[in-house]
Amino acid sequence: MRIEKYIASLVRASLDNDMRSVRALSTKIIRRIKDENPDIAYEISEALNYNASGISASRSIGYGFLPQDNDSRIDLIRLEEPSEIIRPFFNEKLNEIINDIEIERNHINKLVSMGLKPTSSILIFGEPGVGKTHLAKYFSSLFKLKFASLDMSSAVSSYLGKTGQNLKKVIDFAKEEPTLLLLDEFDAIAKKRDDTTDLGELKRVVNVLLKELEEWPAHSILVAATNHPELLDKAIWRRFDMAINIPLPDYDARLEIIENEFKDIVIDFKKKELVAKLLKDVSAAEIIKLCEKTKKQVIIYDKSPEKVIFIELANMNQGKNIEFNKMFCRIAREEFSMTYREMANILGKSVSAIQNYLK
């Protein structure tokens, strides 16, 4: 049997929690790869050994016990298996900032030996779907750090009076070994209007953070991510080594995202530049969703990708923006020879409105 076939069976067995098959398949895979890839065969057999002695398999790659809530015994953070993350597509200015961080961290020993600290606490802010979580994961993959994440908003709501204490545990865990700790929905530590969270507890959380940030070790990175930077105190902002604003993608970044989405499928899609232009003010996550929808339609119905994506785009923007509608009608007429009626249907407007847009 081909090794790829084992992988498919292994995925099924793991998803179904069929441990007997997982073990049997893993043993087969070890036998098949041990000559060419002894290190990977060893890694798999270590995972099996740990599991057989009742220890979490992830400990075989140095993942210790996760910090837990004292009462509920629920793990406080999520640790993810290391994997290679593609570099997110950003505007040129942001790319330069990321390059600088990369260079700094590649000179970590030199800097530390001279009493300097490389950037190791970063506040990332921007609208939903611009790539905050993605960037944090990318850093963890780039710098070979374990990726641990804690959703602050659910921590604050589920641990109430124990949030400060639990946060301290999580931070101690991340300080111990090289880790990228992502504190997501970070604005949850700020007091919001008409919010019933205990103010005293939030203050304790902030104090824990301020203190821990000061003593944060260079080998780990703390990333706080938020869609609402305006809710955060100046004192907190100042304590981070760096604040990164991720804006909505500009034309070049949008084009890169679209090209990346279509790179693995063989279809004739010419008007990517035009689409990138039309996707102004749209987040990366939304662009990706749009591309996925388009690919499906193109694959199933053999439609023209330009036309599908163009119509999906209009659905996304329906009625929101006159400027968009005008641009849409112009392109619909010039590039796709659409009738007024078709345009009216897509935009949910009357034919006379379309005539108006095209005046």
Ligand X SMILES: Nc1ncnc2c1ncn2[C@@H]1O[C@H](COP(=O)(O)OP(=O)(O)O)[C@@H](O)[C@H]1O
Binding site for ligand X (CB under 6 A): 88-90, 126, 128-134, 257, 284-285, 288
CB of 143 to ligand X, least distance (A): 17
Residue at shortest CB range from Mg ion: 133
Kind of pairing between the strands at 121-125 and 221-226: parallel
Contact 170, 150 (CB under 8 A): yes
- Out of 9, 37, 45, 133, name the contact with Mg ion by CB under 5 A: 133
Judged by beta carbon, residue 142 or residue 285, the one nearer Mg ion is 285
Q: What does 164 interact with, of ligand X, Mg ion, none (CB < 5 to 8 A by kind)?
A: none
Which range binds Mg ion by CB under 5 A, 20-28, 75-83, 131-139, 162-170? 131-139
- If one counts every other C-beta atom within 10 angstroms of the C-beta of residue 303, the result is 15
Judged by beta carbon, residue 133 or residue 153, the one nearer Mg ion is 133
- If one counts every other C-beta atom within 10 angstroms of the C-beta of residue 307, the result is 17
Q: Which of 38, 39, 58 is nearest to 48 (CA)?
A: 58
Q: What does 204 interact with, of ligand X, Mg ion, none (CB < 5 to 8 A by kind)?
A: none
Q: Which two tokens stand for residue 313?
A: 């785009």
CB of 249 to ligand X, least distance (A): 6
Please report whether residue 153 would count as binding Mg ion according to CB under 5 A.
Answer: no
Judged by beta carbon, residue 33 or residue 288, the one nearer ligand X is 288
Residue 146 phi/psi, 5-degree rounding, is -65, 145
Contact 262, 287 (CB under 8 A): no
Judged by beta carbon, residue 224 or residue 329, the one nearer Mg ion is 224
How far is residue 183 from each of residues 74, 148, 253, measured CA to CA in Å?
A: 17, 9, 26
CB of 93 to ligand X, least distance (A): 13
Percentages (nearest 5) of helix, strand, coil residues in the chain: 60, 10, 30
CB of 291 to ligand X, least distance (A): 11
Q: What does 131 interact with, of Mg ion, ligand X, none (CB < 5 to 8 A by kind)?
A: ligand X
Cβ-in-10-Å burial (0-12, 13-18, 19+) of 177 comes to middle
User: What's the angle, vertex CA 221, arms to CA 169 and CA 260, rounded to 5?
Assistant: 125
Residue at shortest CB range from ligand X: 131
CB of 136 to ligand X, least distance (A): 8
Judged by beta carbon, residue 134 or residue 146, the one nearer ligand X is 134
Ramachandran category for residue 232: left, alpha or beta (phi over 0 → left; psi -120 to 50 → alpha): beta
CB of 175 to Mg ion, least distance (A): 23
CB of 100 to ligand X, least distance (A): 18
The residue ranges that bind Mg ion (CB under 5 A) are 132-133
